[in-house]
Chains A and B, each alone.
Chain A
Amino acid sequence: MDLSFTPEEESFRDEVRAFFRDKLPARLSTLVREGKRLRKADMEEWHAILNERGWLANHWPEQWGGPGWSVIQRFIFDNESALAHAPRVVPFGVNMLGPVLIKYGSEEQKAQWLPRILDGSDWWCQGYSEPGAGSDLAGLKTTAVRNGDVYVVNGQKTWTTLGQHADMIFCLVRTDATAKKQEGISFLLIDMKSPGIEVRPITLIDGEQEVNEVFFTDVEVPVANLVGEENQGWTYAKYLLTYERTNIAGVGFSIASFERLKEVAQSQKKGGRALADDPLFAARMARVEIDLANMQTTNLRVLAAVAGGGAPGAESSMLKIKGTEIRQEITALTRRAYGSYAAPYIPEALEAGWNGEDVGPEDAAMAAPSYFNNRKLSIFGGSNEIQKNIISKAILGL
């Protein structure tokens, strides 16, 4: 057994590191490191830089503009990206829709939409969840009724992340109300500028507006925007979800935020000594650090097992549960580390470009909002309870 990367993988990592060193704007990495909220233009700027290098859609086949990387290379890239405090790639077009179109889309759809994902012409969002269909995704009620060359869509989607910026939304819609619930669903691409669409922001627990409700009233969608076959959308939806859970362990994010936590624990004092030297806090940090090292190896073991076979299936559920627990624990410790100074709520300090005077230690203002915001990690993308059901069924055979 050899846990080290091959020489080829090592040199790939060096290449990736050099790229981040040379091409990642310091302004962006500072915002990410400090936990600030990025603006649309910031995310678009980073997409354009990655795309110029051909690394934006790093799991797409070369034919459609991907770099042809192995799963290990993608893991290395994602890790290095987080360690360099690069902005996250906005996943909806690149990581979610792209693979679906490549596998199930028509040639016309691929030619029309894939290049526009890469060059940033379209900002996509995801229309999956509904008020009555969360964990029970197939319980969705939004309808699409065919009328000549168009589908007429009515209904409501919710938790539409960054939908306020979107040009396009990919939606699951019910096209056959009489079939079994998984068998009457279709996968539609909808222009957000269509008449009859209304986007309403949802304010989250930390005061941020990153998700939305999207309402559809008699929205006409060209039949040409149906992906695959009518009533077969559930198959495509499930395929997309396995991609949504790729890299959901977020090991790189955990490593980067744990490094930050160590700095904070050194600079914050408790009873006259560094918090890192407080036995109880040090034990909490050590536990999560050990968990993280274990997670990193688990992640690599899963990747090695599926190498060459595309996205992992039920194994990604293990990564999601443990990875999100670790990320949440690190944000909890960071919040705790600031003591009383985690409490002041300075909303403007969370925004990119704020130059006001901090209350208490630098970056303390981000700690509690970040902790509360990250409670979502164990809820979205299929809650951790749903992931445990998947493990019970698919891995344990129970």
Chain B
Amino acid sequence: MNFDHTDDRRMLADTLVRALRDGYPIDTRNAGAYSDAGYDPTVWKQLNELGIVSALFDEAAGGFGGSGFDIMVVFEALGRALVVEPFLGALMAGRALAAGGRHDETLAGIVSGETIAAFAQEDGATPVTATKSGDGWTLSGTKAVVAQAGAASVFVVVVEQDEPLVFLVPADAAGMSVRSYNVVEGGGAGDVTFDGVTLGADARVGGEGQGQAIVDAAVGAGLLALSAEALGAMEFVKEATLGYLRDRKQFGVPIGKFQALQHRMATVLLEIEQAQSAVINAASAFDGDDATARDRALAAAKYTIGRTGALVAEESIQLHGGIGMTWEYAVSHYAKRLVMIDHQLGDEDYHLQRYIALG
């Protein structure tokens, strides 16, 4: 039994953690996160020079990694630094294209970091429909709260019909519009409306009967990434809160001397340890042959980080007192991300029910 990452993977993680620690202080992060773009293109470019996206894909897709543990170390580092740059879209859209056998220049652009991609699955008030028109397709309807929608130049769009259909749509397709906004914890998202968008036959990713597998590949990677991101954010929050308990004095002693606070912090610690194990389980099952075991481990991880993320967020604010409520202090933004990550790709209730259904 060995819980160490391989040397290559550890070097990748160290490089990324160091780059983010030195070049991505919370002020830089927030400036990008709450800008109109919702991220910082300069940071995105710098991080891509490290080959971060390439680490998320295997050689067949033009990358140099792509295992569950690669996804884990990258997103854990991104979470630790509260990165809002569009890595999730790259992972999910790229994984969908790779699963559909689209090893073309679009995927190459995504893997190299040149192309910003978004993955649009959840429907808005009017679900997106696809109808056959000639050789091609016409899309109508709205996708809700698509991460990084404003920044993306290509979208991978899932249409839930008898079986899921997956389409690759350029952002400048006629009839397509994006209402962009920031999200509560910082970062960009948007509602994407398709008003009779006509697409050629080649816009469809994968062939008959492949849709579900493509969606599973993309969503599975996304669930693992979000779980690992949450773990990284929890680790940062844990260290910041411990530092505060040691430094902040009330009644003449560091507040960490009070047993009531010690016990709360101890609970936070052991729940984070459990969350780390959940992410390891998911990363390990991610590359396995047993699809049900993989999906159960992913559901278990997302459930665990949803529940634990809110606990860590709420406890860290409480243990900080008023300081944890302020915009100026980094922990408040981590707390927001930890809570809001539960709103992406299904919340803890959804994944608990999915875990039961898969059992």
Contact = CB atoms under 8 A, between A and B. Distances in A.
A280 B145 contact: no
B318 A345 contact: no
A134 interface: yes
Contacts of B124: 360
A384 B261 CA distance: 11
Contacts of B122: 340
Interface in A192-240: 202-207, 211
B325 A376 contact: yes
A380 B322 contact: yes
A332 B310 contact: yes
Interface string A359-375: 11000000011011001
A339 interface: yes
A342 B326 contact: no
Contacts of A378: 318
Contacts of A259: none
A277 interface: no
A375 B325 contact: yes
A134 B321 contact: yes
A383 interface: yes
Interface in A96-153: 129, 132, 134-136, 139
Contact of A135 (B250, B332, B339): B250
Nearest to A357: B179
A326 to B, nearest CB: 14
B182 to A, nearest CB: 5
B63 to A, nearest CB: 29
B325 to A, nearest CB: 5
* B122, B261, B310, B347: most-surrounded residue (chain A CB, <10 A): B347
A159 B318 CA distance: 15
Nearest to B179: A359
Nearest to B329: A205
B36 to A, nearest CB: 12
Nearest to B186: A345
Interface in A331-361: 332, 335-336, 339-346, 359-360
B327 A379 contact: no
B293 interface: no
B325 A204 contact: yes
B242 interface: no
A339 B321 contact: no
Given A135-B321, A369-B184, A280 B349 contact: yes
A203 B327 contact: yes
Interface in B300-349: 310, 314, 317-318, 321-322, 324-328, 332, 335-336, 339-340, 342-344, 347, 349
B77 interface: no
A69 interface: no
A339 B347 contact: yes
A206 B333 CA distance: 9
Contacts of A388: 260
Contacts, number: 122
B191 interface: yes
B166 to A, nearest CB: 20
A14 interface: no
A204 B260 contact: no
Contacts of B258: 385
Contacts of A159: 322
Nearest to A137: B250
B145 A360 contact: yes
Considering residues B145, B328, B342, which has the most beta carbons from chain A within 10 angstroms of its beta carbon? B145
Contacts of B336: 205, 368, 372
B269 interface: no
A336 B347 contact: yes
A158 interface: yes
Contacts of A383: 318, 321
B343 A339 contact: yes
Given A159-B322, A383-B321, A343 B328 contact: no
Interface of A: 129, 132, 134-136, 139, 158-159, 202-207, 211, 270, 278, 280-281, 284, 328, 332, 335-336, 339-346, 359-360, 368-369, 371-372, 375-376, 378-380, 383-385, 388-389
14 contacts: A132-B249, A203-B328, A205-B325, A280-B349, A281-B349, A340-B144, A340-B343, A344-B182, A345-B183, A360-B125, A360-B144, A379-B324, A383-B321, A385-B258
Interface of B: 122, 124-125, 144-145, 179, 181-185, 189, 191, 249-252, 255, 258, 260-261, 310, 314, 317-318, 321-322, 324-328, 332, 335-336, 339-340, 342-344, 347, 349-350, 352-353
Given A205-B324, A379-B322, 14 more contacts: A135-B251, A135-B255, A136-B252, A336-B342, A336-B347, A336-B349, A340-B122, A340-B145, A340-B344, A341-B145, A343-B145, A346-B181, A384-B318, A385-B261
Instruction: Give the 7 A-B CB pairs with smallest separation, nearest first.
Output: A203-B327, A340-B145, A136-B250, A205-B332, A280-B349, A343-B183, A368-B184
